[in-house]
């Protein structure tokens, strides 16, 4: 069916796709949460997402929240809710003794775990024009726990890192690559034609004290802001933006609901596809015994200062380890909403795990080792950035093209994330916990390897023993004209 396009009179561009069309191998949503110690180790018992559902207990289509939903024209409507029905309100049935809310302290880092279900291990053959980073995960935080009246367009790409975007009731905490650089599925009986899983098992297994051939779940690591009061429930909204692009090899999705004309010569979205999930965290005193041996970063702090400390050490148990880059860099994908001066979604190729695919429209399989980032879990850390808005910043220099880079690096803007103007001391060691990156900041007012997933994309997260087509012009928002006029154009400048 030929798509409708916006004419000179301003008609809405939309394409009506077949009922229940979809490209996903399987579904993904947040399923577990863990506190992360300063050295990157997951500690304590896991928490779960709001209204946790065990995989297999009900159809996945009733658990996953897809916008736009299947069976409808592929445009985002103004009243598309941000979360599935049972995740909108926080009530007594949202958590249980068996599936509890994770208790954390302000300033804690947490891991939000999910299964990749083939989107990382087998993406190129099934979804060749998806972004190379497998989509961008946006993490939004708020103390407004009831999301019943919130729509996707109220939050996503509206809330900003400084808390002044949209209705100012929440903030953008971090951006992550859906492909976290290490997660993968077990190799199915049909083999591993793309070679991603084979590469990762060899890379991770070479430095691990546990087997990883059963697969490894993905994670989005994020820091709880220091200004969330003790006793408060802090809600994090996980938004996975995974559009279909007009060409292969696009590094990251645009950070805008508008698309470019093909005449511009720039990549544009043909089908929007977003998934969301909601997790909550109960804030406790940083010295509370419920936190176990690893207390909150403010415990014992002097002179009213909060101490933001990352002491990432080389990890030999990947199933219970955080990810170094995520603990040290909140915006792995730089977006205008992050407030660091970017006018479009950009990424440093060194932050994209399979960076060799950038600009490559017809890769050969299996992918060669030069297409992958090296294992950097134990490298000296870059300077961290706290999740405390606003964050004064100064541009960091663009990196050189990584070894083995192929394609069109001149087409990619490589804007790196900046850091606050505070004193940073960095050292590193192969053994915990002596490698440190430390900042002293003023107070602000304001796992687990999954069971082996089948080729169909099913699976589950096991609890580990943690240590102590192409229209002329495409638009994807079904807004009335008056609202359209208020949106800033031109944010898809790759």
494 residues of the chain, pLDDT tens digit each: 232 223 222 322 332 222 223 334 468 999 999 999 999 999 999 999 999 999 989 998 899 999 999 999 999 999 999 999 999 999 999 999 999 999 999 999 999 999 999 999 999 888 999 999 999 999 999 999 999 999 999 999 999 999 999 999 999 999 999 999 999 999 999 999 999 999 999 999 888 998 888 899 999 999 999 999 999 999 999 999 999 999 999 999 999 888 656 766 789 999 999 999 999 999 999 999 999 999 999 998 876 676 777 999 988 999 999 999 999 999 999 999 999 889 999 999 999 999 999 999 999 999 999 999 987 555 444 444 444 444 333 333 333 333 322 333 333 333 233 333 333 233 333 443 333 333 333 333 333 333 333 343 445 576 665 554 333 333 445 543 333 333 333 333 33
0.85 surpassed by pTM: no
Rounded to an integer, what distance in angstroms lies between the CA atom of residue 21 and that of residue 456? 16
Beta carbons of 165 and 120 less than 8 angstroms apart: no
Rounded to an integer, what distance in angstroms lies between the CA atom of residue 79 and that of residue 294? 43
Q: For residues 198, 201, 202 and 208, what is the CA-based torsion angle, rounded to 10 degrees?
A: 180
40-50 burial: b if 16+ Cβ within 10 Å, else e: bbbbbebbbbb
Residue 460: closest CA among 474, 470, 449: 449
Q: How many CA atoms lie within 13 A of 123 on its CB side?
A: 25
Rounded to an integer, what distance in angstroms lies between the CA atom of residue 429 and that of residue 414? 29
Radius of gyration of the chain, Cα coordinates, nearest whole angstrom: 21
Q: DSSP assignment of 369-392, as one string?
A: GGGS----TTSPPPPP--S-SS--
Q: What are the C-alpha distances in Å from 385 to residues 282, 294, 480?
A: 23, 21, 39
Rounded to an integer, what distance in angstroms lies between the CA atom of residue 181 and that of residue 179? 5
Tokens of 90: 């926080």
Beta carbons of 406 and 356 less than 8 angstroms apart: yes
Residue 218: closest CA among 152, 161, 133: 133
Residue 157: closest CA among 257, 296, 78: 257
């Amino acid at each position: 069916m030929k798509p409708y396009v916006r004419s000179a009179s301003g008609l809405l561009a939309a394409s009506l796709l077949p009922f229940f069309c979809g490209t996903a191998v399987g579904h993904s949503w947040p399923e577990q949460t863990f506190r992360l110690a300063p050295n990157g180790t997951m500690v304590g018992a896991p928490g779960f997402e709001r209204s946790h559902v065990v995989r297999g207990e009900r159809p996945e289509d009733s658990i996953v929240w897809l916008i736009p939903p299947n069976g409808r024209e592929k445009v985002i409507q103004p009243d598309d809710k941000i979360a599935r029905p049972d995740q909108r309100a926080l009530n007594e049935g949202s958590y249980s003794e068996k599936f509890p809310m994770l208790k954390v302290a302000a300033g804690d880092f947490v891991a939000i775990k999910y299964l990749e279900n083939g989107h990382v291990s087998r993406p190129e053959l099934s979804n060749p024009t998806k972004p190379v980073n497998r989509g961008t995960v946006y993490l939004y935080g708020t103390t407004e726990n009831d999301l019943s009246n919130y729509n996707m367009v109220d939050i996503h790409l509206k809330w900003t890192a400084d808390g002044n975007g949209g209705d100012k009731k929440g903030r953008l905490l971090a951006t992550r690559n859906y492909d976290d650089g290490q997660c993968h599925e077990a190799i199915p009986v049909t083999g591993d034609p793309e070679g991603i899983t084979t590469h990762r098992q060899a890379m991770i297994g070479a430095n691990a004290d546990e087997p990883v051939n059963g697969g490894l779940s993905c994670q989005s690591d994020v820091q709880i802001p220091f200004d969330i009061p003790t006793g408060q429930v802090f809600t994090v909204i996980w938004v996975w933006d995974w559009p279909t692009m007009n060409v292969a090899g696009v590094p990251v999705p645009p950070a805008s609901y508008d698309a470019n004309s093909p005449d511009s010569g720039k990549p544009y979205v043909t089908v929007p596809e977003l998934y969301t999930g909601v997790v909550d965290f109960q804030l406790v005193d940083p010295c509370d015994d419920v936190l176990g041996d690893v207390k909150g970063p403010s415990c014992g702090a002097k002179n009213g200062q909060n101490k933001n400390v990352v002491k990432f050490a080389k990890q030999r148990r990947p199933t219970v380890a955080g990810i170094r880059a995520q603990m040290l860099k909140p915006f792995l994908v730089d977006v205008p909403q992050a407030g660091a001066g970017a006018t479009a979604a950009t990424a440093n190729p060194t932050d994209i795990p399979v960076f060799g695919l950038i600009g490559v429209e017809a890769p050969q399989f299996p992918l060669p080792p030069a297409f992958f980032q090296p294992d950097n879990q134990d490298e000296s850390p870059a300077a961290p950035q706290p999740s405390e808005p606003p964050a004064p910043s100064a541009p960091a220099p663009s990196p050189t093209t990584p070894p083995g880079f192929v394609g069109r690096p001149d087409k990619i803007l490589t804007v790196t994330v900046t850091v606050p103007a505070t004193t940073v001391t960095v050292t590193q060691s192969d053994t915990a916990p002596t490698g440190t990156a430390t900042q002293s900041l003023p107070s602000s007012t304001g796992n687990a390897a999954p069971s082996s997933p089948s080729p169909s994309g099913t699976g589950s997260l096991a609890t580990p023993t943690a240590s102590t087509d192409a229209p002329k012009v495409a638009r994807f928002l079904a807004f009335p004209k008056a609202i359209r006029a208020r949106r800033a154009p031109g944010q898809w400048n790759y």
